[in-house]
């Protein structure tokens, strides 16, 4: 009976050590995604003067971070973040009814702000239609987030900067 307790304790210790070792083997892109998942929860801010709530949820067995953007009295939008080899992907399901797909360059420093650039956009009728072309995610501590969205509309390029504060 004592041997069962000893072997059980040794087995649990080995599992704990293996889990720690595996966590240390994460790629830079996985580490950057882990930092992004620290956004889980609810955030408040304004988009173009409209009170807006962001809700971040980890889904798909921890492989995707979903951002729900809920502006008051405007359509909701969703952005999905995932890891793809040495970079991160962001697909934005826009209220303009298109889906910009963006990616970071290869992640070499998991602590730097994440900058996503347009790879392609689906659901767009004309290149002149409004569509996002980039996103920078700047985490400022645990409770402040800045998003810099770049866009193109009728041949003109622009940028919107939004600030959010963690609610919970």
Full pLDDT tens readout for the chain, 168 residues: 555 544 444 444 444 444 444 457 999 999 999 999 999 999 999 998 999 999 999 999 999 999 999 999 999 999 999 999 999 999 999 999 999 999 999 999 999 999 999 999 999 999 899 999 999 999 999 999 999 999 999 999 999 999 999 999
Structure tokens, 116: 């996503």
DSSP letters spanning the chain: -HHHHHHHHHHHHHHHHHHHHHHHT--HHHHHHHHHHTT-EEEEEEETTEEEEEEEEEETTTTEEEEEEEETTS--EEEEEEEETTEEEEEEE-TTS-EEEEEPPPPS-TTSPEEEEEEEEES-S-TTS-EEEEEEEEEETTTEEEEEEEEEETTEEEEEEEEEEE--
In angstroms, the Cα distances linking 76 to 49, 64, 69, 96, 109 are 16, 19, 6, 11, 32
Q: Which residue in this structure is represented by tokens 């041949």?
A: 155
Q: What is the pTM of this model?
A: 0.84
DSSP letters spanning 121-140: EES-S-TTS-EEEEEEEEEE
């Amino acid at each position: 009976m004592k041997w069962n307790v000893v072997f059980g304790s040794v087995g649990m210790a080995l599992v704990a050590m293996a889990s720690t070792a595996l966590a240390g083997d994460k790629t830079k892109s996985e580490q950057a995604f882990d930092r992004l998942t620290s956004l889980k929860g609810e955030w408040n801010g304004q988009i173009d003067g409209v009170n807006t709530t962001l809700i971040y949820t980890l889904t798909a067995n921890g492989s995707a971070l979903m951002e729900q953007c809920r502006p008051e009295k405007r359509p909701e939008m969703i952005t999905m973040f995932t890891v793809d080899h040495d970079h991160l992907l962001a697909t934005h399901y826009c209220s303009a009814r298109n889906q910009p797909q963006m990616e970071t360059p290869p992640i070499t420093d998991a602590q730097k702000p994440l900058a996503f650039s347009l790879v392609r956009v689906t659901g767009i009728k004309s290149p002149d239609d409004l569509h996002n072309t980039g996103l920078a995610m700047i985490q400022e501590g645990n409770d402040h987030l800045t998003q810099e969205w770049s866009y193109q509309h009728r041949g003109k390029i622009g940028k919107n900067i939004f600030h959010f504060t963690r609610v919970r």
